[in-house]
Structure 1
Amino acid sequence: MLKHINETHRPMIITQNGEAKAVIQDPKSYEDMKNAISILKLLSFAEEDIKNGNLHDEEDVFSSVEELLKK
Protein backbone atom coordinates (compact mmCIF):
# COMPACT_ATOMS: atom_id res chain seq x y z
CA MET A 1 0.00 0.00 0.00
CA LEU A 2 2.77 2.47 0.93
CA LYS A 3 4.74 1.59 -2.20
CA HIS A 4 1.68 2.39 -4.34
CA ILE A 5 1.10 5.73 -2.55
CA ASN A 6 4.73 6.78 -2.91
CA GLU A 7 4.89 5.76 -6.57
CA THR A 8 1.61 7.36 -7.67
CA HIS A 9 1.62 10.37 -5.28
CA ARG A 10 -2.11 9.84 -4.91
CA PRO A 11 -3.70 9.74 -1.46
CA MET A 12 -5.52 6.67 -0.21
CA ILE A 13 -8.71 7.04 1.79
CA ILE A 14 -9.23 4.54 4.60
CA THR A 15 -12.85 3.76 5.33
CA GLN A 16 -14.66 2.09 8.19
CA ASN A 17 -18.16 0.78 7.56
CA GLY A 18 -18.18 2.71 4.28
CA GLU A 19 -17.31 6.03 5.93
CA ALA A 20 -14.01 7.85 5.34
CA LYS A 21 -11.96 7.76 8.55
CA ALA A 22 -8.39 8.61 7.47
CA VAL A 23 -6.24 9.64 4.52
CA ILE A 24 -2.73 8.41 3.80
CA GLN A 25 -0.50 10.34 1.41
CA ASP A 26 3.18 10.57 0.59
CA PRO A 27 5.24 13.18 2.46
CA LYS A 28 6.05 15.32 -0.62
CA SER A 29 2.38 15.64 -1.58
CA TYR A 30 1.52 16.48 2.02
CA GLU A 31 4.14 19.26 2.16
CA ASP A 32 2.99 20.60 -1.22
CA MET A 33 -0.60 20.67 0.03
CA LYS A 34 0.40 22.47 3.25
CA ASN A 35 2.34 25.06 1.25
CA ALA A 36 -0.58 25.62 -1.13
CA ILE A 37 -2.96 26.12 1.79
CA SER A 38 -0.57 28.64 3.35
CA ILE A 39 -0.43 30.63 0.11
CA LEU A 40 -4.22 30.58 -0.18
CA LYS A 41 -4.52 31.88 3.40
CA LEU A 42 -2.13 34.75 2.61
CA LEU A 43 -4.14 35.61 -0.50
CA SER A 44 -7.33 35.56 1.54
CA PHE A 45 -5.83 37.99 4.07
CA ALA A 46 -4.66 40.24 1.23
CA GLU A 47 -8.11 40.25 -0.36
CA GLU A 48 -9.64 41.19 2.98
CA ASP A 49 -7.16 44.05 3.38
CA ILE A 50 -8.03 45.33 -0.10
CA LYS A 51 -11.76 45.18 0.65
CA ASN A 52 -11.20 47.11 3.88
CA GLY A 53 -9.03 49.72 2.19
CA ASN A 54 -5.98 48.73 4.22
CA LEU A 55 -3.48 49.63 1.50
CA HIS A 56 -0.01 51.21 1.49
CA ASP A 57 1.85 53.09 -1.23
CA GLU A 58 4.84 51.35 -2.73
CA GLU A 59 7.15 54.18 -1.65
CA ASP A 60 5.98 53.92 1.97
CA VAL A 61 6.52 50.17 2.03
CA PHE A 62 10.04 50.39 0.62
CA SER A 63 10.92 53.24 2.98
CA SER A 64 9.75 51.17 5.95
CA VAL A 65 11.75 48.15 4.79
CA GLU A 66 14.86 50.24 4.29
CA GLU A 67 14.51 51.67 7.80
CA LEU A 68 14.16 48.18 9.26
CA LEU A 69 17.23 46.97 7.38
CA LYS A 70 19.32 49.87 8.69
CA LYS A 71 18.61 48.84 12.30
Structure 2
Amino acid sequence: LNERNAVNRFMLEFAELEKESVFDEDSGECMVSIKYDEQNENEIIIRLLSFGPVVEVLSPYDFRMKIKERVDRQLALMKE
Protein backbone atom coordinates (compact mmCIF):
# COMPACT_ATOMS: atom_id res chain seq x y z
CA LEU A 1 0.00 0.00 0.00
CA ASN A 2 1.02 3.59 -0.54
CA GLU A 3 1.51 4.06 3.18
CA ARG A 4 2.02 7.66 4.31
CA ASN A 5 1.96 8.76 0.66
CA ALA A 6 5.36 7.08 0.32
CA VAL A 7 5.37 6.84 -3.47
CA ASN A 8 4.86 10.57 -3.98
CA ARG A 9 7.30 11.44 -1.20
CA PHE A 10 9.90 9.07 -2.67
CA MET A 11 9.54 10.51 -6.16
CA LEU A 12 9.90 14.04 -4.81
CA GLU A 13 12.87 13.13 -2.61
CA PHE A 14 14.73 11.61 -5.55
CA ALA A 15 13.37 13.94 -8.27
CA GLU A 16 16.86 14.94 -9.41
CA LEU A 17 17.93 11.35 -10.10
CA GLU A 18 17.30 9.29 -13.21
CA LYS A 19 14.83 6.56 -12.33
CA GLU A 20 12.47 3.96 -13.74
CA SER A 21 9.31 2.98 -11.90
CA VAL A 22 6.51 0.45 -12.21
CA PHE A 23 3.37 0.84 -10.11
CA ASP A 24 1.18 -2.17 -9.35
CA GLU A 25 -2.40 -0.91 -8.98
CA ASP A 26 -3.58 -4.13 -7.31
CA SER A 27 -1.00 -4.21 -4.52
CA GLY A 28 -0.31 -0.47 -4.37
CA GLU A 29 3.42 -1.23 -4.53
CA CYS A 30 5.85 0.70 -6.63
CA MET A 31 9.20 -0.70 -7.81
CA VAL A 32 11.74 2.00 -8.54
CA SER A 33 15.27 1.73 -9.91
CA ILE A 34 17.43 4.81 -9.38
CA LYS A 35 20.77 5.77 -10.86
CA TYR A 36 23.16 7.79 -8.76
CA ASP A 37 26.82 8.75 -8.63
CA GLU A 38 28.70 6.27 -6.44
CA GLN A 39 30.37 9.11 -4.53
CA ASN A 40 26.89 10.06 -3.26
CA GLU A 41 26.12 6.58 -1.92
CA ASN A 42 26.15 7.52 1.79
CA GLU A 43 23.74 10.38 1.12
CA ILE A 44 21.44 8.06 -0.81
CA ILE A 45 21.50 5.54 2.05
CA ILE A 46 20.57 8.23 4.59
CA ARG A 47 17.77 9.51 2.37
CA LEU A 48 16.39 5.99 1.85
CA LEU A 49 16.50 5.23 5.57
CA SER A 50 14.41 8.34 6.25
CA PHE A 51 11.45 6.45 4.75
CA GLY A 52 11.59 3.82 7.49
CA PRO A 53 9.70 0.59 6.85
CA VAL A 54 7.73 1.85 3.83
CA VAL A 55 10.76 1.41 1.54
CA GLU A 56 12.67 -1.82 0.99
CA VAL A 57 15.95 -1.94 -0.91
CA LEU A 58 16.00 -5.10 -3.00
CA SER A 59 19.21 -4.76 -4.98
CA PRO A 60 22.04 -4.64 -5.61
CA TYR A 61 22.90 -7.04 -2.82
CA ASP A 62 25.96 -5.11 -1.56
CA PHE A 63 23.92 -1.89 -1.33
CA ARG A 64 21.16 -3.76 0.53
CA MET A 65 23.79 -5.06 2.97
CA LYS A 66 25.07 -1.52 3.58
CA ILE A 67 21.53 -0.49 4.51
CA LYS A 68 21.23 -3.51 6.81
CA GLU A 69 24.54 -2.68 8.51
CA ARG A 70 23.34 0.87 9.21
CA VAL A 71 20.09 -0.39 10.70
CA ASP A 72 21.90 -3.02 12.76
CA ARG A 73 24.28 -0.37 14.15
CA GLN A 74 21.34 1.83 15.13
CA LEU A 75 19.65 -1.10 16.89
CA ALA A 76 22.86 -1.91 18.77
CA LEU A 77 23.15 1.73 19.92
CA MET A 78 19.57 1.68 21.17
CA LYS A 79 20.24 -1.47 23.20
CA GLU A 80 23.22 0.09 24.99
TM-score, structure 2 normalization: 0.31
Higher gyration radius (CA): 1
Richer in helix (by share)? 1
The TM-score, its normalising length taken from structure 1, stands at 0.33
Q: Which has the higher contact order (CA 8 A, sep 6+)?
A: 2
